[in-house]
Structure 1
Amino acid sequence: MKNNWKKLMIALFSVVLVLSACGQGEKTGEGENAGSDSKKYKVGVTQIVEHPSLNAAFDGFKKALEDAGLDVEYDEQNAQNDMGNNTTIATNLVNSDVDLIFANSTPSAQAVAGATKDIPIVFTSVTDAVSAELIESMESPGGNVTGTIDLHPDAIPNTMKFLKDELGAKNIGMVFNAGEQNSRAQVESVKEILEEMDMKVVEASVSTSAEVKQATESLVGQVDAFYIITDNTVVSALESVISVAEDNEIPMMVAEFDSVKRGGLGAYGFEYYDIGYEAGEMAVKILKDETKPADIPAQYPQNLKFVVNKDAADKMGVTIKDEWKAEFTE
């Protein structure tokens, strides 16, 4: 009886040791992953239209979350520049149990901000977030929204000065969608600056990308140069503007580098990938560190530089000067 009892105790002790070893193994595994976030996040994505700048911003956003080690499932939605779709997408994402919404453009951000006051929203590719009523101020956004702006404060003044001093332009043609709040804000900013410079804006408004070429052609003979802002409707059909500018040798300045690469003469700008990445860093703070959007200041692009497209300059009849101190793309 004593021998049987002794054997039973040894067996029970062995089981305890095995279970203890298993527990230690699990803890060791957790220790090896310390600092990484094992949670699976769901991020809703709303983008107003397909074009290279917005796509680059989304690429940057995803890379920031990847670099932070977050495991993310994306629910990607594109409105194809249809405001009805834009509103529907916002409603669907809010009802899809997402942890955060990434809004890529002003209309996208306005739609989701109107649909939820609870789910965190991070925007990018927004020109004036305060006027768009997305945030209370850049420093203190308030509410559930923050993000990155796609207009450096010095970009428009520098561009207008370049058009006047270097190209001798007085009448600046602007094609834009008046239905986009970000576009109206930029046009008004240009008008204010040009009024002080004894220059003026000649406008052509569109509502769809199909109208862009005809609207641009209507300005020929009235303008000395074009300035194409970050208008989603126009940028999605930028090649139409480029063809008119080249055919008539009218210099066409743009507001961001992707449009320079596509054939714009030049821009004081930044990379959309960068502001997307910076927005992604904000999303990491919200998801991983549980920081509230209200406590994350919105921010402007961090780097502003001047880029000129040599090939576009030739086609638009512009002679490049050494003193421009620009970076060049073919």
Structure 2
Amino acid sequence: MIHRRDLLALAACGVGTGIIGARPVFAQERPFRILMLTFNGETEVERGFRDYLTDFGVRTEVIVRKVGRTQSDVAPVLSTLPEIAPDLIYTRGASMTLAVVGPYDAPNPADYVRDRPVVFALVAAPVQAKIVRSLERPGGNVTGAMHVVPVPVQLRAMQSYRPFKKVGALYSPTEQNAAAVVEQVREHLTAIGAELITRNFQTGPDGMPIADGVDVLVNELKAAGVDWIYLVPDTFGSTVLARISPPALAAGLPMFGATEMAVRQGGALVGLVSRYYAVGQLAGAKAMEILVARTPVRDIPVGTLKRFSLIININIAKKLGIYPPIEMLNYAEVVTS
């Protein structure tokens, strides 16, 4: 059994920017203008981002644009940058961030935003996705906040709840973020003598993933003998959780979530997660370093939270008949959504 001190005893959010203490008042000639790009409206992540800046007395003018996650989706908005003239661009997720800044080794950098600071939130593997060159020194015009708990820690939590030999995963191989996490899971499972079995979402004529056949994929994982389905932090996958959960429940397969949404809304039994609001706060701290402290973006490390939450969906536990170990209830948050 993994214990609370091993799982949750990392220091509190501690955004670690060096800009901490009592709420200061900054001399600003005008509010900082932030272009906020989201694909499904504002969430707890964006609320945390806004609140962090407000709580530190930073005046902002936030211009929200709801866009898709591909370069062609964001191009119309980016064409208005000279008119909007933002001091900073906020993005959520790996796909959208790449659509804005491109991979750092893109052959045509002029196709992307390289002349303004960009702060991302909810990117699981920014180095593997080629958003930044390293976590410690991003090296370009983009930094931000990661949200996925280290894979080995997630797997220990999963094993503590219910031992496994085989773990299944559904993901979009075209999404660099998801593919990078899948490879980390595969590596760590192999190291402990377990197996990862994957299935890819189908794609439409445009090469983008679609939800068709999700129930078939879940049943294939069941037939392959998986003990868990690991819900990869996949941007598309997060939009079809309602299609994944019913066949998984019908097959008696518990799901482990890498994100807060997967447990609260997506039918996962349990997850070890970074809270979305805190991830937004951390992204806000990065924005503050850029806008207030005037730290060069290339020198601002990509951040990750130091405190995680173990969340158990007790309604899913009842439906599956798979209940948590008693000790786990001493430190887990139990939800009934």
Please give the TM-score of this superposition, normalised by the length of structure 2: 0.79
Q: SS at 1:220's partner residue?
A: helix
Structure-2 change in CA distance of 1:34 and 1:279 (3 Å): closer
Residues 8-47 of structure 1 aligned to structure 2 (within 5 Å): 35-47=26-38
Whether the 8 Å contact between 1:103 and 1:121 is mirrored in structure 2 is yes
Whether the 8 Å contact between 2:92 and 2:120 is mirrored in structure 1 is yes
Structure-2 change in CA distance of 1:163 and 1:302 (3 Å): closer
Whether the 8 Å contact between 2:269 and 2:313 is mirrored in structure 1 is yes
Which range moved further: 218-227 or 178-187?
218-227
Measured on the aligned residues, the alpha-carbon RMSD in Å equals 2.3
The one of 218, 221, 237 equivalent to 1:219 is 221
Residues 76-99 of structure 1: CA deviation (Å, up to 9, x unaligned):
223344553145444444763211
Residues 264-303 of structure 1: CA deviation (Å, up to 9, x unaligned):
1111111011111111121122122322212222111221
Structure-2 change in CA distance of 1:141 and 1:180 (3 Å): same
The one of 260, 265, 268 equivalent to 2:272 is 268
The one of 59, 68, 78 equivalent to 2:66 is 78
The count of corresponding residues between Structure 1 and Structure 2 is 293
Structure-2 change in CA distance of 1:92 and 1:192 (3 Å): farther
- Could you tell me which amino acid in structure 1 is paired with residue 101 of structure 2? A
Question: What residue number does 1:138 align with?
Answer: 135
Residues 147-296 of structure 1 aligned to structure 2 (within 5 Å): 147-153=144-150, 156-164=151-159, 166-206=161-201, 207=203, 208-211=209-212, 212-222=214-224, 223-262=226-265, 263-296=267-300
Structure-2 change in CA distance of 1:147 and 1:190 (3 Å): same
Whether the 8 Å contact between 1:41 and 1:72 is mirrored in structure 2 is yes
Larger radius of gyration: 1
Residues 100-139 of structure 1: CA deviation (Å, up to 9, x unaligned):
1011111121122131222011111111112222222222
Runs of 5+ in structure 2 lacking a partner?
A: 1-23, 103-111, 204-208
CA shift at 1:40, angstroms? 2.4
- Residues 1:50 and 2:40 aligned together: yes
CA distance in 2, matches of 1:167, 1:37: 54
| Larger RCO (CA under 8 A, 6+ residues apart) | 2
Residues 43-65 of structure 1: CA deviation (Å, up to 9, x unaligned):
11223x328xx722112111122
Q: SS at 2:302's partner residue?
A: coil
Please give the TM-score of this superposition, normalised by the length of structure 1: 0.81
- Residues 1:305 and 2:309 aligned together: yes
Whether the 8 Å contact between 1:141 and 1:298 is mirrored in structure 2 is yes
Whether the 8 Å contact between 1:226 and 1:253 is mirrored in structure 2 is yes
Identity of aligned residues (%): 26
Whether the 8 Å contact between 2:25 and 2:56 is mirrored in structure 1 is no
- Could you tell me which amino acid in structure 2 is paired with residue 196 of structure 1? A
Structure showing the higher helix proportion among its residues: 1
